[in-house]
Structure 1
Amino acid sequence: MELSIFIPILILYLVIMSCLAYYGYHKTVTEADYLIAGGNINPVVMALSYGATFISTSSLIGFGGTSATFGFGLLWLSALNIIFGVFAAFAIYGTRIRSRAKQLNVFTFPSLLGGMYKSRFVTIFAGTMIFIFMPAYTSIVLIGGGRFIQETMGINYNLGLLLIAAIVTVYVLSGGLRAVMYTDAFAAVIMVVMASVLLFVTYQQAGGVIDGHRALSSMENLVPSALVEQGHQGWTSMPAIGSPQWWTLVSTLIMGVGIGVLAQPQLAMRSMTVSSDRSLYRSIAVGGVVIFFLAGGAYMVGPLSNIIFQDIEGVLAMEAAGGNTDLVIPILINEIMPDWFIYLFTLTAISAALSTVSSLIHVQAASLSEDILKKLNITAVFNGKISMSRLGVLIGMTAAISLAYVLPGGVIAQATAFWFGICAAVFLPALTGGLFWKKASKAGAEASIVVGFLASTSGFLFFHAKEASAIGLSEAVFGKTTLLPFPMTHIDPLFYAFPLSALTFIVVSLITSEKKAGKVDMEGKVEQVEANQ
């Protein structure tokens, strides 16, 4: 890449982003402005911001590269992204979240959960979990952006990562969620256009839709023997049912992210930013288009890259990327796309990283100020709630940068699934019950989030091989990598943590709501007797 050409383009991009951030800053006056963009954002802006936040470099770079190994089976995740991540998130959950948040006068996801149950514990627990665990997800988004800049611009990875972090820190500190959403919307437009062009050119290079799929199917005999032993049956087929690859694809990548999207704090907050249910309904079409091109496009480009690398270099995508799935898409773009596209797609990768990281950092900061410090009655270091939030921005970004230097390569897709899955197990039963079930109780919600958290973390520490082997606690304590044999080593903890959490919520809620009903009924009878006397 010629930096003399790219740098002016980057400067123009940053000027536009800065103007949007300044506009958000100028409009940020109240606490509601900083935390939920005043609750009156245009539905198109909301949908674009939602899509840009949802589909980050973890999808474009991480999941796109991962699909080069797993094949078109990952398109099931794209379907769930649209069904659950857009339609259900807006039309079913979003409308209830918006009305309940307004009714309770809350501006954060943990405060919404705690407010529905009148539980200080739920608010603090959820806020603490977000503030402690979300930096891990934030860090892998930073990694995706840094890796792309490294591959396309030839710039040192550390410098690319710090550049993205510095830009995000500046405009989240200044403009809050208004600045985040305006810049996200602009980023989403760039992302959709460039992802569409990449998808079109990739199919063109692969021989077209029909011939490209036929060619990919004929490459089944080229699947490495190690993947065949794991259940791989070709890039146009699902892995063998019950095989290690099938369990990883279905339980971790598809179900973990596909269901977990409903309980993502940074996405649920978007429902609080519009003024009416009608606005949410109007957002569905735009959100669906954004998700289709950004997620679905990446999951199609990945498998097709095997054809292109085979034709150009005589190797499969993973071999061309040196075994690091995070480098497949950047290398593919450098191989097949014209120079002008590389410049603009670099902005796409930067946009994807900026949009998601800004939203994640904003949520972490709000959790620190609103859900932890405020609930614990801890005096802020600075005066005012917005200052506490800004302190959270600095802490959250520092933690994310630190983790980005520690996490290994090829971790983006797996770490994304980890965060989405743990959110589903911990938050989704209590959120669903609070929005839709009259018998949902405070005790049920508190028990559910604790069980969901313990079951998820235990699964990752002692049963799921990828995380358990990397963390090493099971090996240190029990002398073996995992406590149970296959298939538990490849079944994502979501598959048992979420049912346990949901069952706990239902049982405890039924028991406690019946006791409460009995108590109310008894008090009523006593009052009636006293009245008769």
Structure 2
Amino acid sequence: MAVSTPVLAVVVLIYLIVIFYLGLLGYRRTNETEDYMVAGRKINPYILALSYGATFISTSAIVGFGGAAGAYGMGLLWLTFMNIVFGIFIAFVVFGSRTRRMGVNLDAVTFPEFLGKRFQSRFIQGFSGALVGIFMPLYAGIVLIGGARFVETALSINYDVAVLILAIIIAAYVITGGLIAVMYTDALQGTLMFIGMGLLLIFTYIKLGGVTEAHQALTNMAYLVPEKLVASGHMGWTAMPELGSQIWWTVVSTFILGVGIGVLAQPQLAVRFMTVRSSSSLNKAVLVGGPFILMMAGVAYIVGSLSNVYFFDNFGKIALEVANGNTDLIMPEYINSAMPDLFVVLFMLTLLSAAMSTLSSQFHIMGTSIGHDFYKEFLKKGKGKTTSDVVTKIGIAVTIVVSVVLAYVLPISIIARATAIFMGLCTAAFLPMYMGALFWKGMTKEGAISSLIIGTFSSLSWLIFVHEKEAVPLGISQALFGNATLLSGVWTVVDPILVATPISLITAVVVSLKTKPPSNKHLKKCFNKIK
């Protein structure tokens, strides 16, 4: 049932007014490059935690992975565990404080610049910036898809129009207000997301007769799993897939590990560690970030799985059948069909908040990667400050256009997979170098460059020539070698993160041990302690 009431119009209008006010506030407080890039390094823990969480948990988690849970079941709850352990605790406590300290010592204002200055390499900064600028539009495109799919279903408007509206609204405050505006709006959007997901969980259990009843009903539906999925290892929505099966490898290597570990190397998240006043702020942020991720991701995966009970009870079909095989439509269809109209209005704001908070951060980091890291620091060798600011804003505009185009052309059921692709690429390219930058004084510039290049191209090569989900539709392997994939059997379902990241890590260690270490003077500057 589509929602079309004066209440909806009023609520959305108020929401947009507040968002643009916060964007204006960010614009007024953006006076210097450091304000635009890292929010003046004075963000408080609450805003940091909500901004980080709202950026991390987007419509890809709620719509994409919620839909994947509707197809594969509650095994995805292990991803929630990984999100909290790696994405919050290890990220904030272990990586965050060192990133903040080193970022201040090196006067770094972007993640690529942080890596470039740590290893004294403009190539690392430029290559990293280009990598983000080229491949992050894929991630931004699927976040747009997630938000637009719900708006399309809730308001019965054309999907293409919904994509365009979202992109224009976000561009307006990101281009002008920088990271201060992004983080202020993220905090509000994160709060709305927390409330919306909490109510969704409560209403779902009420609708299905209670917690125990809902889960037992889902367990009893195991016999309804389609034969094709059973043959691939599906054992019911409350059980993990059969060990070693095709679906097991997809759920474990692509979703749980690909996204669970991949969060540590996300440029748009790592830069937030450089926005706070002190390391103690990062520790305080854990107390907010942990429960936030639990509510966001955990609820999405539980509700996505339980949607099967609702659909079967009311329509005699499982979630995949109701969505015509498109997992990206499972959550929108469930919410619009099962929830009260007023809640649909609130949840539309929840999903708008999830989409806008993540997209604003993505557009900001893509613009700064192109304008500051690639153009100014790599091509112009650090010259032309004013010009780089203009190029940054042009970069944001261009990447927005590319993201919108991708939202129009990407295939169905792409949200969860594309998220894992981008996070896996970042993990292979950046994580070994990032860990070396923070924890190993013996890692050299040559080791970092080798790891960056090998990690990038080994990840992309595995996607193009081996991983079946991408290699088959791309058709490059078939065209060049006459085979859909270069390897066969279980290798075709092993995610690139499990192959490319170890190769990248080994490369970093071996090359660093065989090359000259950085000077003690530079290392002292990098690791100097600050408050």
Same fold per superposition (TM over 0.5): yes
Residue 323 of structure 1: CA displacement?
Answer: 0.9
Aligned equivalent of 1:57:
59
Aligned equivalent of 1:45:
47
Residue 471 of structure 1: which of 474, 481, 502 is its match?
Answer: 474
Per-residue deviation, residues 190-248 of structure 1 (Å, max 9, x unmatched): 11101011011112222322222211111111111000000011111111111000000
Query: Residues 211, 503 of structure 1: CA spacing in aligned structure 2 closer, same or farther, 3 A cutoff?
Result: same
Is the CA contact (8 Å cut-off) linking 2:372 and 2:389 kept in structure 1?
A: no
- SS of aligned partner of 2:161: helix
Alignment partners' CA distance in 2, 1:514 and 1:388? 35
Alignment partners' CA distance in 1, 2:42 and 2:191? 21
Amino acid at match of 1:401: V
Amino acid at match of 2:220: S
Aligned equivalent of 1:530:
none
- Give 1:62-211 correspondences, 5 Å limit: 62-211=64-213
Q: Aligned-residue CA RMSD in angstroms?
A: 1.5
Aligned equivalent of 2:418:
415
Aligned equivalent of 1:524:
none
- Give 1:20-31 correspondences, 5 Å limit: 20-31=22-33
Amino acid at match of 1:434: A
* Alignment of 1:428 onto 2:428: no
**4+ residue runs over 3 A deviation:** 378-385, 513-517
Residue 445 of structure 1: which of 442, 448, 456 is its match?
Answer: 448
Alignment partners' CA distance in 2, 1:493 and 1:470? 17
Residue 386 of structure 1: which of 385, 389, 398 is its match?
Answer: 389
Mean alpha-carbon deviation: is it higher for 373-382 or for 479-488? 373-382
- Give 1:290-369 correspondences, 5 Å limit: 290-369=292-371
Amino acid at match of 1:57: T
Alignment partners' CA distance in 2, 1:168 and 1:496? 36
Alignment partners' CA distance in 1, 2:517 and 2:56? 40
Aligned equivalent of 1:522:
none
Alignment partners' CA distance in 1, 2:385 and 2:84? 42
Alignment partners' CA distance in 2, 1:75 and 1:350? 24
- SS of aligned partner of 1:372: helix
Amino acid at match of 1:178: I
Alignment partners' CA distance in 2, 1:514 and 1:11? 57
* Alignment of 1:372 onto 2:377: no
Aligned equivalent of 2:276:
274
Is the CA contact (8 Å cut-off) linking 1:34 and 1:386 kept in structure 2?
A: no
Amino acid at match of 2:50: L
Alignment partners' CA distance in 2, 1:248 and 1:190? 31
Amino acid at match of 1:474: S
Alignment partners' CA distance in 2, 1:514 and 1:86? 32
Alignment partners' CA distance in 2, 1:447 and 1:387? 32
Amino acid at match of 1:366: T
Alignment partners' CA distance in 1, 2:335 and 2:286? 30
Aligned equivalent of 1:482:
485
Mean alpha-carbon deviation: is it higher for 196-205 or for 153-162? 196-205
Alignment partners' CA distance in 1, 2:224 and 2:412? 24
Residue 335 of structure 1: CA displacement?
Answer: 1.6
Alignment partners' CA distance in 2, 1:418 and 1:115? 27
Is the CA contact (8 Å cut-off) linking 2:66 and 2:303 kept in structure 1?
A: yes
Is the CA contact (8 Å cut-off) linking 1:31 and 1:385 kept in structure 2?
A: no
Query: Residues 143, 425 of structure 1: CA spacing in aligned structure 2 closer, same or farther, 3 A cutoff?
Result: same
Is the CA contact (8 Å cut-off) linking 1:35 and 1:108 kept in structure 2?
A: yes
Query: Residues 381, 148 of structure 1: CA spacing in aligned structure 2 closer, same or farther, 3 A cutoff?
Result: farther
Amino acid at match of 2:181: A
Per-residue deviation, residues 150-185 of structure 1 (Å, max 9, x unmatched): 011101101111111001110011100000000111
Amino acid at match of 2:228: A
TM superposition score normalised by structure 1: 0.95
Alignment partners' CA distance in 1, 2:399 and 2:338? 37
Query: Residues 347, 233 of structure 1: CA spacing in aligned structure 2 closer, same or farther, 3 A cutoff?
Result: same
- SS of aligned partner of 1:487: helix
Alignment partners' CA distance in 1, 2:372 and 2:518? 33
Is the CA contact (8 Å cut-off) linking 2:154 and 2:344 kept in structure 1?
A: yes
Residue 478 of structure 1: CA displacement?
Answer: 1.3
Amino acid at match of 1:139: G
Alignment partners' CA distance in 2, 1:55 and 1:176? 20
Is the CA contact (8 Å cut-off) linking 2:444 and 2:517 kept in structure 1?
A: no
Q: Aligned residues: percent identity?
A: 47
Aligned equivalent of 2:527:
none
Per-residue deviation, residues 22-51 of structure 1 (Å, max 9, x unmatched): 111110100000001000011101110111
Alignment partners' CA distance in 1, 2:87 and 2:317? 36
- SS of aligned partner of 1:237: coil
Whichever of the two has the greater Rg, that structure is: 1
Amino acid at match of 1:386: D
Aligned equivalent of 2:499:
496
Work out the number of aligned pairs and report it: 517
Residue 511 of structure 1: which of 511, 514, 528 is its match?
Answer: 514
Is the CA contact (8 Å cut-off) linking 1:380 and 1:388 kept in structure 2?
A: no
Query: Residues 333, 441 of structure 1: CA spacing in aligned structure 2 closer, same or farther, 3 A cutoff?
Result: same
Residue 317 of structure 1: CA displacement?
Answer: 0.4
Amino acid at match of 1:437: W
Alignment partners' CA distance in 1, 2:126 and 2:25? 33
Alignment partners' CA distance in 2, 1:382 and 1:445? 27
Residue 397 of structure 1: which of 400, 405, 417 is its match?
Answer: 400
Residue 477 of structure 1: CA displacement?
Answer: 1.0
- SS of aligned partner of 1:53: helix
Residue 510 of structure 1: CA displacement?
Answer: 1.2
Alignment partners' CA distance in 1, 2:153 and 2:108? 43
Residue 59 of structure 1: CA displacement?
Answer: 0.5
Amino acid at match of 1:130: V
Is the CA contact (8 Å cut-off) linking 2:444 and 2:518 kept in structure 1?
A: no
Alignment partners' CA distance in 2, 1:378 and 1:394? 24
Alignment partners' CA distance in 2, 1:467 and 1:311? 35
Per-residue deviation, residues 352-396 of structure 1 (Å, max 9, x unmatched): 111100000000110111111112118999944432221111111
* Alignment of 1:236 onto 2:238: yes
Is the CA contact (8 Å cut-off) linking 1:217 and 1:234 kept in structure 2?
A: yes
Alignment partners' CA distance in 1, 2:64 and 2:137? 17
Residue 468 of structure 1: CA displacement?
Answer: 0.6
Residue 403 of structure 1: CA displacement?
Answer: 1.1
Aligned equivalent of 1:454:
457
Amino acid at match of 1:346: M
Alignment partners' CA distance in 1, 2:518 and 2:444? 11
